[in-house]
Structure 1
């Protein structure tokens, strides 16, 4: 019976190279196959691709195994949501037309099983992300997007590939560390939101470190990590939200 909600983010497919990305893509497809029978709704919460840009008739090549699996899941009745991340913000309508996937540009609030969820990729929120907030406005500006679109795909996607090779996930040499509940900027942001509106769960990606932070007021912040090392995700079974790991026997939720 399909009743579970699954949340995952930061696959960064395409990085750091084709060979390593393919290994990760195969693992993600195995995970999707393992949850397919129980998955009612799938929330892909940003940075699924290390870069994505849709020209009118051209999309980045590759990722056929992931796209095929998502198409099959959508066709079988699974509702899929795709959040724009800071690496794949230039998603347009290709996934919607081809697979019926709903595109989410910013936050999404949902209510399931008597619980309220505040969902966002996490980029540009809270203290400590000021520089990116400026870049986010620039890159999401329609003029900026149009200027990139007039480049021939060979040139535009070539530039993007080089840029992707210098991304944080492709060049990280140290593990992410927990900064403390008072310094984790998405926890700080969530507490600010709670002052105006209560949510049972705040779920983000972007941070690349799976964690659960008790925010008080019967609310929790979940970061669902990444798929370079943690292979982490969250699942809500109608009663409980859990942080879990795929093919990582050394990690416990």
Structure 2
């Protein structure tokens, strides 16, 4: 009797994909194309896509969405949301001025930082990660200032070109300051991470910002806690870097490289 043909085991579908720190800019064409390829081939198959900050190298305000480069990115995101993928946006330290106009244009839902969510029975807390870098007191002071509604209203009242010039100056000063800071100061603070786990009640944390991709394990009162750090993207250098985290229907969490292969 002829045996039925064996079929390849189906791969679990991604419930959610998580990315951050692409730092998209028109001067980075290969990074931009890699992101578009990710959207068209990976994100389009997921139920949810979480953008956890610093998608853009900078964002001067939602009135910039009609210029050619941002419009390309917006159109690519809109194709994903139009395909039925739930799109979620969290601000980073570079693009915290993204607001409702951008959200409407892309079909994204704006999230607060941190954000708690339960998916396939897992309690997750999502963050960009900069708020947990509490050892960097100079950065935390600056962050508190620019997140104030009054500061943002005053800044957004300036002409777009002037805003971009101011941001360029901020970036230059930030690079100069960071070159003088230690590795430890610019990483997340252990106490801040522990506090966020306690406050959220989550067993899994996913964040970016530090550009130090890894999987960290902890134990708290007999409970296993996992912290995943997302990679930054730059495909305009050799070797190119980037990747994402996938949560699958069977509950497995995977760190994925640019080719989609599992890293651990």
**Aligned position for 1:243:** 255
Larger Rg computed on CA atoms: 2
1:13 Cα deviation after fit: 1.3
Name the CA distance, whole Å, in 2 between partners of 1:99 and 1:37.
14
**Aligned position for 1:28:** 35
The TM-score normalised by the length of structure 2 is 0.80
Name the CA distance, whole Å, in 2 between partners of 1:60 and 1:51.
15
**Aligned position for 2:89:** 82
What runs of 5+ residues in structure 1 fail to find an aligned partner?
none
Shift of the 2–37 alpha-carbon distance from structure 1 to 2, 3 Å rule, reads: farther
**Aligned position for 1:101:** 108
The TM-score normalised by the length of structure 1 is 0.83
Shift of the 193–165 alpha-carbon distance from structure 1 to 2, 3 Å rule, reads: closer
Name the CA distance, whole Å, in 2 between partners of 1:196 and 1:160.
33
2:156 pairs with one of 149, 166, 186: 149
What runs of 5+ residues in structure 2 fail to find an aligned partner?
1-11, 235-239
2:19 pairs with one of 5, 8, 33: 8
Name the CA distance, whole Å, in 2 between partners of 1:112 and 1:195.
19
Q: Are residues 1:214 and 2:214 paired?
A: no
2:146 pairs with one of 139, 150, 154: 139
Q: Are residues 1:130 and 2:137 paired?
A: yes
Q: How many residues align?
A: 239
Contact 1:74–1:80, Cα closer than 8 Å, also in 2: yes
CA RMSD between the two structures: 2.8
1:232 Cα deviation after fit: 2.0
Shift of the 146–34 alpha-carbon distance from structure 1 to 2, 3 Å rule, reads: same
Moved over 4 A (4+): 165-169
Shift of the 5–208 alpha-carbon distance from structure 1 to 2, 3 Å rule, reads: same
Q: Are residues 1:202 and 2:205 paired?
A: yes
Aligned counterparts, 1:153-164, within 5 A: 153-164=160-171
Shift of the 155–205 alpha-carbon distance from structure 1 to 2, 3 Å rule, reads: same
1:113 pairs with one of 112, 117, 120: 120
